[in-house]
Chain A
Amino acid sequence: MPSLACHSLPRQTMLDALKGRWADRLLLLIILLSIASSWFIIQANIAAGPAMAEIYHDDTLLATYPLPQPGEPSITLQLEGELGLSDIVIDEHGARIASSPCTSQRCVLSGSHKHAGDIIACVPNKILITLRGSSETRFDAIVE
């Protein structure tokens, strides 16, 4: 097979393959640098301010809730999505979808999220929860 010969040498060990060629490593470096810089830009934009959960259905923002501190009561709400009702719980551990009418249940299984930039998406029911702000900020505000 001629096409194989130009891509790989015979008798290559798995370790050799894992090292890659210099062009592969250069590509990886460029990609990692661009991912890291975009991550910093995103975090700088959304990590400021108190921890909040934003709840969307389709393309409309339905509600924004601050994450409760330990000891504060949790917030439970029901949302009507494309398929039916999703139960959302926001407590000191973050926001989660407690039950969903979708078949895959991936949104429920993904559990609680509280870090800025985390998302919980239920694609079949068209529900999205995004987290922004940091949970530490509120403590700082109290101490000051």
Chain B
Amino acid sequence: MTPFSLPRPALAELENKARWLALLMLAIGLHVFEASLPSFGPWFKPGLANLVTLLALAMMGPRAAISLSIARIVVGSFFIGTLFTPTFIIAMAGGLSATVVMIAAWRWFPGLSLVGISLLGALAHMLAQFVSVETLFIQQSALYYALPPLLILSCISGWINGALAEYISGRLAHEET
């Protein structure tokens, strides 16, 4: 008999936590990887880290997706050295609004696949970046002149990321059954 024993959590709960942490590690890795990519322009990244948020949403639900994106941005920014700088604030605004929009689309538009959800998330990310820069740093509506071409890039990257998420989650579901 042991002097004291902690109550053991259920196996399903542990599995869920392990899966969330695995996704978090993947998301942080992709966040750092994206930061080290040659720049596609100062406003644009392929959004691979957001792809993991979408996977978390599809596999584990809204709460896991929100907590994953916050944790990913905080820890990822810590690694690339932008924690609490303007870059961090912009990334947080973009990441959070993308996640919220994706959750809303996932919940209220059941006709959309992960492709459409990811598309909306990518657009929300780009818009939130601009709105946060305009309200917090450079109070100039002239900023928005640059938005339309970037939104088209967002459509492309959002569509491809959504298809990747659809493919990956489909494969994972297939392997587990």
Contacts and interface: CB of A to CB of B under 8 A. Distances in A.
Nearest to A57: B138
A72 interface: no
A66 interface: no
A35 to B, nearest CB: 5
B110 interface: yes
Among A5, A23, A59, A119, max chain B CB count under 10 A is at: A119
Interface in B119-164: 119-120, 123, 133, 137-140, 142-149, 151-152, 155, 159-160, 162-164
A21 B112 contact: yes
Contacts of A121: 42, 133, 138, 143
Interface stretch (A87-95, A106-114, A134-142): A106-114
Interface residues on B, range: 35 or more
Given A23-B109, A123-B137, A128 B143 contact: yes
Contacts of A54: 142
B86 A12 contact: no
Contacts of B146: 117-119
A104 B116 CA distance: 33
Contact of B115 (A5, A17, A42, A107): A17
A130 B145 CA distance: 9
Interface residues of A, number: 51
A109 B170 CA distance: 40
B142 A128 contact: yes
Contact of A117 (B42, B109, B145, B162): B145
Contact of B113 (A8, A103, A126): A8
Interface of B: 39, 41-42, 58-61, 82, 85-87, 90, 109-116, 119-120, 123, 133, 137-140, 142-149, 151-152, 155, 159-160, 162-164, 166-167, 169-170, 172-174, 176-177
Interface of A: 1, 3-14, 17-18, 20-21, 23-24, 27-28, 31-32, 35-36, 38-39, 42, 46, 54, 56, 58-59, 103-104, 106-107, 109-110, 116-119, 121, 123-124, 126-128, 130, 132
Q: Nearest 8 CB-CB pairs, A to B?
A: A39-B148, A24-B116, A23-B111, A59-B139, A10-B174, A8-B170, A17-B163, A20-B115
